[in-house]
A and B are shown apart, each in its own frame.
Chain A
Amino acid sequence: MSVFFLRRVLTLVATLFAASLIIFLVLDALPGNAAQMLMGADASPDAVRALTVKLGLDQPLTVRYLLWIEGMAVGDLGNSYVYGTPVAGLIAERLVLTIPLAIMSMLITVVLALAAGIYTAANHNKLGDVGVMSLTQVGIALPNFWFAILLILLFSVKLQLLSAGGFAGWDDGIWPGIRSLLLPAISLAVVQAAILARVTRSAVLEVLREDFVRTARAKGLGKREVLWRHVLRNAMIPVMTVMGLQFANLLAGTIVIENVFYLPGLGRLIFQSIANRDLIVVRNCVMLLAAMVVTVNFVVDMLYAFIDPRIKVSNL
Chain B
Amino acid sequence: MSDAPLIEVKDLGVRLNTSRGPAQAVRGVSFALRRGETLGLVGESGCGKSVTALALMGLLPESAVVSGSIRLDGAELVGLPDAAYCKLRGNRISMIFQEPMTALNPMHTIGHQVAEPLRRHTGISAAEAQQEAIALLDRVGLPDAAKRIDAYPHQFSGGQRQRITIAMALACQPDVLIADEPTTALDVTIQGQILDLIASLVEERGMSMILISHDLGVIAENVDRMMVMYGGTVVESGATDAVFRRMGHPYTQGLFRARPRLGARKGTRLKTIAGTVPELADLPAGCTFADRCAIVEARCRAALPAVVDVGAAHGVRCIRTDVSMAAGGSSA
Contacts and interface: CB of A to CB of B under 8 A. Distances in A.
Given A218-B95, A220-B86, A313-B155, A212 B103 contact: yes
Interface string B156-195: 0000000001001100000000000000000000000000
Interface stretch (B26-34, B116-124, B140-148, B196-204): B116-124
A27 to B, nearest CB: 45
A232 to B, nearest CB: 10
Contacts of B288: none
A12 to B, nearest CB: 26
Interface string B68-97: 000000000000001100111111001101
Contacts of A307: 107
Nearest to B105: A212
A172 interface: no
Nearest to A236: B107
B103 A211 contact: yes
Nearest to B171: A219
B256 interface: no
Contact of B89 (A210, A220, A234): A220
User: Interface majority SS on A: helix, strand, loop or mixed?
Assistant: helix
B304 interface: no
Contacts of A221: 86, 90, 116, 120
A218 B83 contact: no
B91 A234 contact: no
A216 B105 contact: yes
A7 B59 CA distance: 44
B163 to A, nearest CB: 14
Interface string A103-135: 000000000000000000000000000000000
Contacts of B91: 220
Contacts of B86: 220-222
B83 A211 contact: no
A243 to B, nearest CB: 18
A218 B177 CA distance: 11
A44 B117 CA distance: 86
Contacts of A211: 97, 99, 102-103
B82 A222 contact: yes
A277 interface: no
A126 to B, nearest CB: 10
A49 interface: no
Contact of B90 (A210, A212, A218, A223): A218
Specify which of B104, B107, B116 lies most central, judged by the most chain A CB atoms within 10 Å of its CB: B107
A214 interface: yes
Interface in A200-250: 210-212, 214-223, 230, 233-234
A308 interface: yes
Contacts of B168: 215, 219
B15 interface: no
A308 B108 CA distance: 9
B152 A309 contact: yes
Contacts of A234: 105-107
B320 interface: no
B90 A233 contact: no
Contact of B106 (A216, A223, A310): A310
A223 B57 CA distance: 14
B90 A219 contact: yes
Contacts of A223: 82
Contacts of A309: 106-107, 152, 154
Contact of B120 (A210, A214, A220): A220
Interface in A276-301: none
Contacts of A308: 106-107
Nearest to A220: B90
B104 A217 contact: no
A222 B84 CA distance: 10
Contacts of A218: 57, 59, 89-90, 94-95, 97, 169
Interface in B215-273: none
Contacts of A230: 105, 107-108
A48 to B, nearest CB: 64
B117 to A, nearest CB: 4
Specify which of A216, A219, A309 lies most central, judged by the most chain B CB atoms within 10 Å of its CB: A219
Specify which of B82, B104, B105, B108 lies most central, judged by the most chain A CB atoms within 10 Å of its CB: B105
B152 A310 contact: yes
A222 B89 CA distance: 10
Interface in A168-218: 210-212, 214-218
Nearest to B152: A309
Nearest to B172: A220
Contact of B97 (A215, A220, A313): A215
Nearest to B106: A310
Contacts of B102: 210-212
A218 B166 CA distance: 12
Nearest to A211: B102
B116 A219 contact: yes
A268 B169 CA distance: 61
Nearest to A217: B59
Contacts of A215: 97, 103-105, 165, 168
A81 B128 CA distance: 70
Contacts of A212: 102-106
B167 to A, nearest CB: 12
Given A214-B97, A220-B121, A313 B89 contact: no
Nearest to A314: B154
Closest 6 CB pairs of A and B: A220-B90, A219-B90, A211-B102, A220-B89, A219-B117, A309-B152
11 contacts: A218-B57, A218-B89, A219-B89, A220-B88, A220-B89, A234-B107, A308-B107, A309-B106, A309-B107, A309-B152, A313-B154
Interface of A: 210-212, 214-223, 230, 233-234, 307-310, 313
